[in-house]
Amino acid sequence: MSDTELDRVASALGRLLRTDDANGSSDGGPRRLTLDEAAARIGEQLDIDVTPDLVRQAATRGKRFEVHRDEVRLRRGRPNGPGSSPPDILYHACTEEQVRTYLAEGIVRVQGGARPVFLSDDETQAWRAAHRMASEGSRGGATEPRVLYVDTARQRRRKLPLQRNRRGLWFARQIGLPDVLNLRPDFAEQLSAGGIPVVLGPDGQPRMALIRVTRRSGVTWEVAKGKLEPGEPPEWAGVREVQEEMGIPQVDFDVKQLVGLVRYGFLAPGGLPRLKTVFLYLLQPRGTMDGRFSPSEREGIKDVRWFTLDEACDVVTHSSLRPLMRRARRLAADLDLRAAG
């Protein structure tokens, strides 16, 4: 199914979950539906064949929904509420003409600051808005759509406020050019992938393998990950990075599930601005993993260890990875790992 059709399914799912006849959750949270029920009702609405797996696929593409076992519901959200913080990267829809104005004025602001600068946590949504703006603006002359990558982690460190409206969009009065990654000189994107091996522990419960890494900022537990090689699919890179960093080249893996992807800004050596995209997968070893790990010390990896699902979520402290770890915990709990012993 195409991206456009998946978007239609996701939109129909959102409408269903906002109606009064969806079931309220037992904890008073957002309404929910079983995947079977959602598939039947969406198929009837759109007059197409919709399966529960298709509903799951549409629901997990963005950040609007939560899927647990065989149920889906709208993701909890508290616009402007306490503790509500944006992801490390937000997306600003604009046009090439607006970008020229931003650069000339030395700041990102709309109509001289009279209107807020809106930011989305969904890049696809931002590109749709940018194309719409370019189409409307083309009546007065040709213009191209642009999406700017705003490094909100940098903004938080400088204590610049961001607010969120009831539509789920973040906004600010203005954004400094240094906080916009793709308006800085020497900007580039970096694609990476990582994997989390998952097996059954002695008690029959899932375990996740993580690496202990020494960096200039300290010692942290992380997922094994690294840059894609030219032409390499992300899932292959995720397996390769696990084999290399954990020192287990003899172990083959099945890619069980795409946990998701995360994007964040960082400075490469020399202070070069980068936008990193990390694809994260759950991996199941083919056979057993009884052999010893030989972590790659040249990459600063000092140890590899198995953790329970809850422990793994607790020890990974990178702010951009924590949401993915919570999702990985939910997905790993539902995996059938019996074949791995």
Give, in order, the Cα–Cα distances in Å from 158 to each of 153, 242, 341. Answer: 9, 35, 49
How confident is the model over 223-234, as a mean pLDDT?
94
**Model pLDDT, residue 207:** 94
Same domain, 16 and 145: no
Claim to verify: residue 199 and residue 176 sit in the same structural domain:
no
Residue 281 has pLDDT above 60, yes or no: yes
168 and 203 housed in the same domain: no
Last residue of some domain: 74, 99, 123? 74
Do 211 and 328 fall within a single domain? yes
Q: What was the pLDDT predicted at 141?
A: 56
Among 42-51, 164-173, 205-214, 311-320, the range with the most confident prediction by mean pLDDT is 205-214
Q: Are residues 231 and 326 in the same domain?
A: yes
Tell me if 84 is assigned to some domain.
Answer: no
Query: pLDDT tens digit string along 2-40?
Result: 666 777 888 888 888 876 344 444 444 456 788 989 899
Residue 242 resides in a domain: yes
Does residue 62 register a pLDDT over 70?
no
Average per-residue pLDDT for the chain? 85
Residues whose CB falls within 8 Å of the CB of residue 80, separated by 6 or more in sequence, listed in order: 163, 164, 165
Residues 19 and 156 in one domain: no
* Cβ-contact 298, 199 below 8 angstroms: no
Same domain, 313 and 199: yes
Check whether 119 has a pLDDT greater than 90: yes
Same domain, 28 and 114: no
Q: Which residue has the higher pLDDT, 266 or 105?
A: 105
**How far apart are the C-alpha atoms of 213 and 247, rounded to whole Å?**
14
Average pLDDT over residues 205-230: 90
Strands 145-151 vs 89-95: parallel, antiparallel or unpaired: antiparallel
Given 40, 74, 108, the domain boundary residue is 74
DSSP code for 141: S
Same domain? 198 vs 163? no
Cβ contacts of residue 103 below 8 Å, gap of 6+?
177, 183
How many residues in the chain? 341
CATH of the domain at 168: 3.20.170.30
Same domain for 59 and 111, yes or no, is no
State the pLDDT confidence band at 84, using cuts at 50, 70 and 90: low
Same structural domain, 197 and 173: no
The domain of 26 spans 3-74
In a domain, 60, yes or no: yes
Answer yes or no: is 82 within a domain: no
In this structure, what CATH number is given to the domain that contains residue 65? 1.10.10
**What are the structure tokens assigned to 140, written together?**
């007065």
Total domain count, the chain: 3
CA distance 97 to 154: 26
pLDDT in tens, 187-204: 999 999 999 999 998 898
| Backbone angles phi and psi of 340, in degrees to 5 | -85, -10
Whole-number Å distance between alpha carbons of 59 and 78: 20
- Of 128 and 341, the one with more pLDDT: 128
Boundary of a domain, candidates 139, 167, 183 = 183
Q: Any idea which residue has 């020497």 for tokens?
A: 186
Strand ranges (DSSP E) for 158-297? 163-164, 170-172, 175-176, 188-200, 206-215, 218-222, 224-227, 253-268, 272-285
Mean pLDDT of the 97-116 span: 90
